[in-house]
Every structure is written in C-alpha cells, then in structure tokens.
Structure 1
Amino acid sequence: MEQTASNRLAAVFAAIRQAVEAEKTHLSELDGPIGDADHGTTMALGFRAVDRTLSASRDASPSVIFAQAAAAFLDAVGASTGPLYATGFRRAAQRLEGRVEFGPEEQVLTLEGIAAGIAERGKAQRGDKTMLDVWLPAAEAARAAFVRKQPLWPAVTETAERAAEATGSMVASRGRAARLGERSLGHLDPGAVSAALILRAMAGILSPTA
C-alpha cells in the first residue's frame, strides 16, 4: 500500500534524526575549531524533538507537518541553529499550503522554502561559509532536475556533498566562525556538513531507487 504524505514525511524526519545521532560527535568535532563544539549535540536535540512530535501526528498535510517540525525544533533549540531551521521549515510549510501529496514538485518546493527561510533568518548569502552554502545550491539542483524531468535526489546529494566540501576553502563572514576571519580557512563549516547529511537522509527515503 502506498504511503501517505504524512507517513512519508515522518519517515524522512526519523531518518534525519538517526543520521544526525550517528554523526553528532563528528559534527561537534568539526565545530570545535571555529565554533562552540556543540553543533552535533544541538542538531541531535532538535531532530529528536521533531521526530518525537511527528510520531504522534496522524494524517496531517505536508504543510502542517513542516509547521509542527518548525515549532518542535525551535522549542528544543532556542539559539543559533534553532531559529534558522525553524524559519526554513516554516517557509517550506507556506510553499506547501494546500498540497496533499509529497511528490517531486513538493520536494522541490520544500528545499526552496528551507533555503529561503535560512537565508532570510541568517541574513546570509552564498559564499559566507554557512549551511546556506549547501541548502541553496541543493535547492537549485532540485529545481533544475525537476525542470529537465530527471530524478531529483542524485543531483541534490551530489551538489550538497561538493558544496559542503567547498566550505573548507572559504573564509567565514557569518556566525561565530566569522570572528576568526582568515583563521576559519581550511575548516569545513559544520552547518554545511550537517546540511549535506540531512539531504542524504532525505534522499534515502524519497529517492525512487531507495
């Protein structure tokens, strides 16, 4: 029997939680030289709360699911990353308003909404060495693949991996890492790495070949 959109999204967020939990120590280690060494712990807290909330949700629309995810993440993670992802999920919820399915078009709208919300809340742009350096090109790759009628997720994950790796050659100009200036060069941005991790987890559930 085909999964409902609600069940499919619950599976997506469960997969994200599991992926973040598995890599939380590594993410915090990446954060150590340029941040507060807590990125993995913070992300795990946030997605644990989202997964817990959605496990009790039944037959909600995609828009409602993302609104619930936003509230749960923000409640669990009040500072820094919390408002960024909460705003991203809220913008996704707005773009999905009225949709009952979660097919390729809705998936593109979701990625575009998350990228737009993160940019809006963080006042960041491409090249600032933040998670937006992954979310923005990933959303663009999804849209381009959709227009060409190609599978979304191979393009998204490949783009995300390259984008996360590219942050090592950037100098941070947003967030805590910005205070280091040139000393942030050579370090991967932990938010970009976790964004790529999230997108891989999403692909594992949403890719037709998964």
Structure 2
Amino acid sequence: MELTAKELKQYYKEIVEMIEEKKDYLCELDRKLGDGDHGVTMSIGWQAINDKLENELVAEEDCSKISITVGKTFLSAVGSSVGPLYATGFLRGAKEIKGKTVINDQDLAQFWIAFAKGVKERGQAEVGDKTMIDTLEPFFQTLEESFSESQDFVRSFRLAVEAGKKGMESTKDLLSKRGRSSRLGERSLGAQDPGATSAYYILSTFQSFVETQVLNVGV
C-alpha cells in the first residue's frame, strides 16, 4: 500500500479528533496515578498540531517535513515530560521518509519502528515500568519481526497493535516505577497507565486509518 502526503495529514487530523474524544477518559486514568491532566496535555499538543495542519502544512507534500512539524509543534506546545518523548518519536520517524511525497509499506514499517524506538531511547524506560513503553516496545518488536518475515505492512501493523494493546492492559498489574506515580507504591496497582493508553490509541487510530485506505482502493 501507499500513503500520500495528503493522506498522512488526514491521519494526523484523525488523531486530533480521537484525542478530543478520549480526553476525559485519559484524565480519569491519570487522576488515579498523577495530576489528572494527561488528556488535557495531549489535547493541547494535538490542537497546536491541528493549527499547523490547517495553515502552514496545507500545501506541504513532503511527508518527512509534515512529521517534523508535528513533532516540533507537540514539543513546543506541551511542557510536560510527554512532549520530548513524542517529539523524538516523530522526528526519528521523519528521518526514515526523508524527501518522500508518497510512502510505501517499507517506509511505513521503518517510520513506526523508528518512532517507537525513539520514544524508548529518549524516555529510558523499560517494559514493566508502567509507562508508554509497555505499549510501544511489544508493538515495535512485533512489527519488526512480522514485517521482516511477511513484507505485509497492514497485517504486521495489526499484529503489532494487538501486542501493544496487551502491553497497555498489563500496566494495570504493575507498580509504577517512573515519575510522580512511583510514589504511590502499592496504590498504583489496578490502574492502567494513561501514557500507555494514549500511545495505544495513536497506534490503533493508524491501524483503522490504513485498513480503511486499503478497503477504499480495493486491495
């Protein structure tokens, strides 16, 4: 499959809409572990990105430049720790699609693997720490393995998102080891990590988006 720059921008618009829908739920999750503002933080970042999508990025055809702008805009809009994490992810992904106006299966796989690895490297967290890495590491490992074997991006991405979902759900049974919520100790058990949840939503939104694209072109 292939995605044009216009379609990539449409995907980013879909994240904007999804975050608005999930904002209250993400804050509800965060109230159990932190400041209760994760949904608001994500909304601030994506509303800033939406402004770029509707203005300076309208005519942009370079997929890499679009993703660089997304990452930098999120970073400047969001002051919390999640800002540098997503910014690193989108900037690393952008390197994999440099100068491309259309991105194919190989490009998409490389983009998402670089994105997730970039977040992990910047955040220095491990699986089991009750963070977004509990979603992203099983996601990128599965995507890497499945795509290298099958070269079928849509199927590989679906499997990777399923692995990420299991990782997200596993955070309910983990003690927080990073950030403010680590002070809660045993009280952090039973609560799903909001960062792991929003990361899963961003990935699952892309899964839905590409599967719709495939259906639309009749592949």
Give the match for residue 149 of structure 1. Answer: 151
Asked whether the equivalents of residues 172 and 192 of structure 2 are also in contact (C-alpha less than 8 Å), the reply is yes
Give the match for residue 60 of structure 2. Answer: 59
Across the aligned residues of Structure 1 and Structure 2, the Cα RMSD in angstroms comes to 1.9
Number of residue pairs aligned between Structure 1 and Structure 2: 209
Asked whether the equivalents of residues 133 and 167 of structure 1 are also in contact (C-alpha less than 8 Å), the reply is yes
CA distance in 1, matches of 2:206, 2:48: 17
1:22 paired to 2:24: no
Code of the aligned partner of 2:33: I
CA distance in 2, matches of 1:165, 1:3: 31
Asked whether the equivalents of residues 139 and 156 of structure 1 are also in contact (C-alpha less than 8 Å), the reply is yes
Give the match for residue 134 of structure 1. Answer: 135
CA distance in 1, matches of 2:209, 2:71: 20
Give the match for residue 45 of structure 1. Answer: 44
Give the match for residue 168 of structure 1. Answer: 172
**TM-score using structure 1 length:** 0.91
> Secondary structure of the residue that 1:102 maps to in structure 2?
strand
Code of the aligned partner of 1:197: Y
Of 194, 197, 201, the residue aligned with 2:198 is 194
Give the match for residue 107 of structure 1. Answer: 108
CA shift, 1:36, in A, is: 0.5
Structure 1 unmatched ranges of 5 or more: none
CA distance in 2, matches of 1:27, 1:65: 26
Give the match for residue 89 of structure 2. Answer: 88
Asked whether the equivalents of residues 85 and 119 of structure 2 are also in contact (C-alpha less than 8 Å), the reply is yes
Give structure 1 regions of 4+ aligned residues with deviation exceeding 6 angstroms.
none
- Identity across the alignment (%): 35
Q: Which moved more, 1:41-50 or 1:58-67?
A: 58-67
Structure 2 unmatched ranges of 5 or more: none
With over 3 angstroms needed to count, the CA separation of the structure-2 counterparts of 1:209 and 1:164, relative to structure 1, is farther
CA shift, 1:4, in A, is: 5.9
Q: Which moved more, 1:2-11 or 1:198-207?
A: 2-11
Asked whether the equivalents of residues 104 and 152 of structure 1 are also in contact (C-alpha less than 8 Å), the reply is no
Q: Which moved more, 1:68-77 or 1:144-153?
A: 144-153
How big is each residue's C-alpha offset from its partner over 1:65-112, in whole Å with a ceiling of 9 and x where there is no partner? 111001110121122111111111111112222444322222211222
CA distance in 2, matches of 1:48, 1:60: 21
CA shift, 1:153, in A, is: 3.0
